[in-house]
Structure 1
Amino acid sequence: MDEFNTEMIKSLMQTDPAAAAACIKEYLEKKNNTPLNIAITGESGAGKSTFINYFRGMTNNDEGAAPTGCTETTFESSPYPHPKYPNVVLWDLPGIGTTTFPADEYLKKMGFEKFDFFIIISDTRFRENDVKLAKAIQKMEKKFYFVRSKIDSDLQNEKRGKKNFNEEETLKKIREYCIHGLQKEGFESPQVFLISSFDLHLYDFPLLHETLDRELPEHKRRALLMAMPNINLEVINKKKKSLQSQIKYYASSSAAGAAVPVPGLSIAVDLTLIVSAITTFVVGLRLDVKSLRKLAHSTGVPVADLIEVITSSLAAVEITPALVMKCLGQLGSVVALMAGEEVSRFIPIIGIPLAMGLSFAGTYKSLNHILDMLAEDAQRVFKRALGLNSSV
């Protein structure tokens, strides 16, 4: 929220708390629903659909997954919204080699202006059509990224029958081969990201995320971050910071609710806000049951083993007001703030401002405490899923 809006909210808090709460809610909804449209293109069989599915936290067999293993028969782009963040949409574009259009005409037909960036995928080397498309995207002043897919298969094939197999050397060879081919086509310093869609935490996918995070406009970064799978501990920490930055707005809404002198109303408002916030935390950190089951399926670690390392009572369960109230009851300082808020509301003149301040402090403190616990759980789950014992 910019300085002008912040001052406006402060003013509304004093004159019309309900309007202030409505403005805060509108702001959060707008921020959490920033559209991000990602175009995925490449020749048929390059691994576009698998990339789209696993980026969305799905497998190729899930309902709503992009179809794999079939020949392209359409010249239209197909949208695949993220199941948890529908504002993030991955678009499967037909390979330009399957059309008769020149690259610039192809992009116009696909509606290039709606895409925030393009990912050009190849499972071998980048061919003439990939290069033509990249140059056309560049000409239209959009960002594009070369992704070399199916690296896991390449490494397995290279390893088979070799006594002195060296993974780093093999990856270097594949990368240099792709870069050399692109340089021959006129790209001076191309960057190629090597990935395995089945294991996004490996190889260059974390580097791809870092690059996108650096080059995207600030208001688009959060949309990408929250839709991103937990590929490493750094991503989990970034998600925590992003979620933490919103706590002050939940707390401000709580303060607005405290301005109404009705017994018990503020606590009811606070619980509703806290349930909403915690649900957002749990989903963002991938601690909901559905996400844990997906993680168990993809890593082969039993879901019971993942749940075993969770210490918070708010992860892997349905978040309800009763559960939240029970959790808050264990935080003595928060209980004291809530009790003080109820009493102070009825003090003449200073009561309402005091109640608003206590309500803000109680919600702010409780949400920070809960987010800390959930972020630590997300890290433990990630380490358990990958068999890690260190903090690296």
Structure 2
Amino acid sequence: MADVFRSLNLLGTLKESMDHNKLSDIKDAVEDLLISRINLAVMGERGDEKATFINSLHGLSSGDDGAAPSRPPVSPEEVASFPNPKHPVFRLWDLPAAPSTSPFEPEGYMDRVKFARYNAVFITFNRALPPNSVRVFLEARSQQRQTVYFVLLASAGSTEEQLEGRRKAGLEVLTSQGVAAPPQVYRVRPSALEKLDFPGLLEDLGRDLPEIRAHALLLALPALTSTLVARKKEAFSALVWAAASLSAGAAAAVPVPFVASVVDCGVAARVLSKAQLSLCLDEGSVERLARQRGAEPSRLKGLRTCVLSAGVTKGEVRARLAAAERDLAAVSVPSKLAEMAMPRHARSAGRSFAAMLQALNAAIDEMAADAQKIVAAALGEGK
């Protein structure tokens, strides 16, 4: 696929592609935004806390299909892989702990677990930070790998005071091992990622990753908090703009209404299906969330007021695109917002661009509002 993501701003890069009449880049951009891969590795001793952490990153509980067991069916030295059931492009890798042997060669360990293939690595520990884990971190830094993070996993019953003591002890180990400017040690409660330091870890990870990978991770993570739902909604802006530009480019190239409407409907349905899964509005996600939070599934499902939240059908997508077309037909000139956003190449097909933009943005707004209500109800926000 064409590399249209060299810029630090996806939207700006997409606009530049359209201004230079690079419709093929826009097509590739839509595909990349829909199916971009992300590989995260979780390194450390295996056990209940680590398995729960991996499952929570996928929005799963221990009994769900595809969940990571406390003891993976591989030898202690092997790597275990866990694809996301809803987002196959999001894969988590369970890396064994760095052996406690001395001497220890971090390069050999990293080669064995294929350290270079992961977009980010979480080095986890429960109590004391193993010195050889620090040596792996230092070797990664020497290789210019910045997306390596220390994560203190809270054991069941651990108090915040105990966790803070373990965090400080971990920082002392980092200093004693020669880490000049010790990085942050993030405290994470595996069964409740919305608490403690995980939101901050997610912020830092999103800033450190290449933008297309950060985008893929954000859309694949479960809808943990209202803030994360809002960030997911914002992340769809580049995809919606790309889909609208593709619609305008197709309409300009093949100005046949029936052909254009088929293309628009197919692209819009894929974008909205991605939004439904990302916002965790599908049946399976809502039911899992209800089980995890002790809520009544029917109550959470009843909060979905947008038809698309319960299921994306081409009939509903066509109806929304047609309604947007009718709304725009009643306006003699494009709105100032659409005119400013529209690439020069697409202005001959401005109505197609504006209709797709309006229909998708309105639909995602409605779906995100449903997700906000479900998350607030499940977490007991406002009580």
TM range (shorter): 0.7 to 0.9
Q: Deviations over 1:223-258 (max 9, x none)?
A: 221122222222212111110222122112222343
Q: Residue 107 of structure 2 is aligned with which of 85, 94, 104?
A: 104
Could you say which residue in structure 2 is the equivalent of 1:335?
Answer: 326
Paired letter, 1:145: Y
Output the CA distance in 2 between the equivalents of 1:4 and 1:263. Answer: 29
Q: CA shift at 1:386, angstroms?
A: 0.3
Matches within 5 A, 1:207-222: 207-222=200-215
SS of residue in 1 equivalent to 2:157: helix
Percent identity of equivalent pairs: 31
Could you say which residue in structure 2 is the equivalent of 1:164?
Answer: none
Q: CA shift at 1:354, angstroms?
A: 8.2
- Aligned pair 1:178/2:170, yes or no? yes
Q: Residue 349 of structure 2 is aligned with which of 356, 362, 370?
A: 356
Could you say which residue in structure 2 is the equivalent of 1:65?
Answer: 67
Output the CA distance in 2 between the equivalents of 1:127 and 1:265. Answer: 61
Output the CA distance in 1 between the equivalents of 2:34 and 2:350. Answer: 26
**Would the aligned equivalents of 1:206 and 1:231 in 2 still touch at CA under 8 Å?**
no
TM-score norm. by structure 1 comes to 0.80
Paired letter, 1:149: L
Output the CA distance in 2 between the equivalents of 1:5 and 1:312. Answer: 29
Could you say which residue in structure 2 is the equivalent of 1:228?
Answer: 221
Q: Which runs of 5+ in 2 are unaligned?
A: 333-345
Q: Residue 28 of structure 1 is aligned with which of 4, 22, 30?
A: 30
Could you say which residue in structure 1 is the equivalent of 2:301?
Answer: 307
Output the CA distance in 2 between the equivalents of 1:171 and 1:147. Answer: 11
**Would the aligned equivalents of 2:223 and 2:278 in 1 still touch at CA under 8 Å?**
no
Output the CA distance in 2 between the equivalents of 1:316 and 1:50. Answer: 28
**Would the aligned equivalents of 1:38 and 1:91 in 2 still touch at CA under 8 Å?**
yes
Matches within 5 A, 1:108-127: 108-127=111-130
Paired letter, 1:102: E
> Compared with structure 1, are the counterparts of its residues 321 and 130 closer, same or farther at alpha carbon in structure 2 (3 Å cutoff)?
same
Could you say which residue in structure 2 is the equivalent of 1:131?
Answer: 134
**Would the aligned equivalents of 2:48 and 2:70 in 1 still touch at CA under 8 Å?**
no
Q: Residue 266 of structure 1 is aligned with which of 227, 249, 260?
A: 260
TM-score norm. by structure 2 comes to 0.82
Q: Deviations over 1:174-194 (max 9, x none)?
A: 432333343344335342111
Q: Residue 149 of structure 1 is aligned with which of 133, 147, 153?
A: 153
Could you say which residue in structure 2 is the equivalent of 1:85?
Answer: 87
**Superposed CA RMSD:** 3.0
**Would the aligned equivalents of 1:145 and 1:192 in 2 still touch at CA under 8 Å?**
yes
Q: CA shift at 1:74, angstroms?
A: 4.1
> Compared with structure 1, are the counterparts of its residues 44 and 99 closer, same or farther at alpha carbon in structure 2 (3 Å cutoff)?
farther
Q: Deviations over 1:28-52 (max 9, x none)?
A: 2123433332221112337333222
**Would the aligned equivalents of 1:47 and 1:121 in 2 still touch at CA under 8 Å?**
no
**Would the aligned equivalents of 2:47 and 2:71 in 1 still touch at CA under 8 Å?**
yes
Output the CA distance in 2 between the equivalents of 1:134 and 1:237. Answer: 33
Paired positions, count: 357
Output the CA distance in 2 between the equivalents of 1:327 and 1:8. Answer: 27
Q: CA shift at 1:270, angstroms?
A: 2.4
Could you say which residue in structure 2 is the equivalent of 1:291?
Answer: 285
| Higher mean C-alpha deviation, range 267-276 or range 359-368 | 267-276
Select the structure with the greater relative contact order (CA < 8 A; seq sep ≥ 6): 2
Paired letter, 2:276: V
Output the CA distance in 1 between the equivalents of 2:122 and 2:48. Answer: 12
Could you say which residue in structure 2 is the equivalent of 1:345?
Answer: none
Could you say which residue in structure 1 is the equivalent of 2:335?
Answer: none
Q: CA shift at 1:277, angstroms?
A: 1.8
SS of residue in 2 equivalent to 1:96: coil
Could you say which residue in structure 1 is the equivalent of 2:96?
Answer: 94
Q: Any runs of at least 4 consecutive aligned residues in structure 1 with deviations exceeding 6 A, and if so which?
A: 2-5, 338-341
